[in-house]
Structure 1
Amino acid sequence: MIIRPATAADLPAIDQVFRTSFCDTFAHLYDPADLAAFLDGFTAATWQAEFDDPDYAFQVGEVGGKVVGYIKLGPNKLPHVEPGQLLELKQLYLLKEAQGTGLAHGLMNWALDEAKLRGARRMALSVWSENWRAQAFYDRYGFEDRGPVGFMVGNHRDEDRVWEAEL
């Protein structure tokens, strides 16, 4: 397993990991039209724009040359946290085959270190209110629940929870 900075050439693989992991975990919750509308928002151009923005940072995990997970940091857009010296963990996704391998921990440790290098003192994220596995993972890193936030998948509104940790 290798954890390394993402390159522009990794963006199609990152998109595939995102779509596969999101659908494997959550597709059963949504009307297919809502799921399709949500996924349609993730285009090659939007991935490229974030990748090119210096306020964002991507890291990938690969096995045998195949990207099996990634993490993305960026500017905070979440409520319930004080502004300033704060980064948002935007996405952390792994393919099923990479779950339980330690990759999530490796990516998370990189994200915490990267946030500190960028001058952040805190990190925020959102997680679905019923994703107990993810919540337990973030709890181990000292994240605390700060309150609800709506997360739209097409016309379907989920309740996510905003979590925050001191770095």
Structure 2
Amino acid sequence: MQIIAPTARHAPLLQQLMRATFTETFGPLYPPADLAAYLDSAYDLERLAAELADRRNHWQLILDDAGTPVAYLECVPAHLPHPELRPEHGEIERIYVLQSQQGRGFGRLLMERALAHLGERYGDAPQWLGVWSQNVRAQALYRAYGFEKAGEYIFPVGDTQDLEFIFRRQP
């Protein structure tokens, strides 16, 4: 196993991982057209390259022993729709692990790296994340690290509207 900070040259591999983990996690919930529209938009290669190049964003990519991406993390300046959120707060935008790699501690490892990064970059400012309202496993992980529900919002996936929870942690 190796953990790297991906660059633009990793964008195609990261894109494959992002599409695969989202589809594994949420794909069965959506009509095929909604899923395809979301994947094409959210994981567009050009958009991903721009996110990787943005110095405000923090990425970590876990590669297995063969060099295949199996999990990733992205932290960004906070932008969730919450009245108490400020631009100087940090957000864990994504933590995903391939289903075949779950249970190996990668989610916790990435969570700890995310919290360390947010602490270094944003100090004692609140830390934020969004999580699907039905993803109780992820919510349990976030609660174990001190996050609490602070709000809700609607997250569109194609024409499907998902209820998302906003979680906040005060370091």
CA contact (8 A) 2:77 2:88 kept: no
SS class of match (1:82):
coil
- Aligned equivalent of 2:148, options 144, 147, 150: 144
**How far did residue 6 of structure 1 move?**
1.7
Q: What SS does structure 2 have at the residue aligned with 1:22? A: helix
Q: CA RMSD in A?
A: 1.3
* Residue 102 in structure 1 maps to residue 111 in structure 2: no
Q: Distance in 2 between matches of 1:17 and 1:104?
A: 15
3-state SS of the aligned residue for 1:61?
A: strand
| Structure 2 residues not aligned, in runs of 5+ | none
2:56 is aligned with 1:55 = yes
Counterpart position of 1:89? 92
User: Contact 1:151–1:158 at 8 Å: present in 2 too?
Assistant: yes
Q: Which amino acid aligns with 2:161?
A: R
Identity over aligned pairs, percent: 37
Letter in 2 for 1:35: L
Moved more, 76-85 or 137-146: 76-85
For residues 59-105 of structure 1, the C-alpha deviation after alignment (integer angstroms, 9 at most, x for no partner) is 11111111100000112111233315311111111111221111111
Q: Which moved more, 1:7-16 or 1:37-46?
A: 7-16
Residue 14 (structure 1) aligns with: 14
Flag as ranges the 4+ runs of structure 1 deviating above 4 A: none
Partner in structure 1 of residue 24 of structure 2? 24
**In structure 2, distance between residues paired with 1:155 and 1:98:** 31
Q: Which secondary structure state, in structure 2, belongs to the residue aligned with residue 116 of structure 1?
A: helix
Aligned partners of 1:3 and 1:107 also within 8 Å: no
Larger strand percent: 1
Give the 5 Å matches for 1:56-71.
Answer: 56-64=57-65, 65-71=67-73
Distance 1:102 1:12 in 2: 25
Q: Contact 1:61–1:70 (CA<8 Å) still a contact in 2?
A: yes
Name 2:80's counterpart in structure 1: 78
Q: Give the structure-1-normalised TM-score.
A: 0.94
How many residues matched? Answer: 167
Give the AA of the match of 1:6: P
Distance 1:82 1:7 in 2: 28
Give 5+ residue unaligned stretches, structure 1: none
TM-score by length of 2: 0.92
1:21 & 1:53 partners in 2: Cα distance?
23
Question: Relative to structure 2, which stretch is displaced further, 57-66 or 118-127?
Answer: 118-127
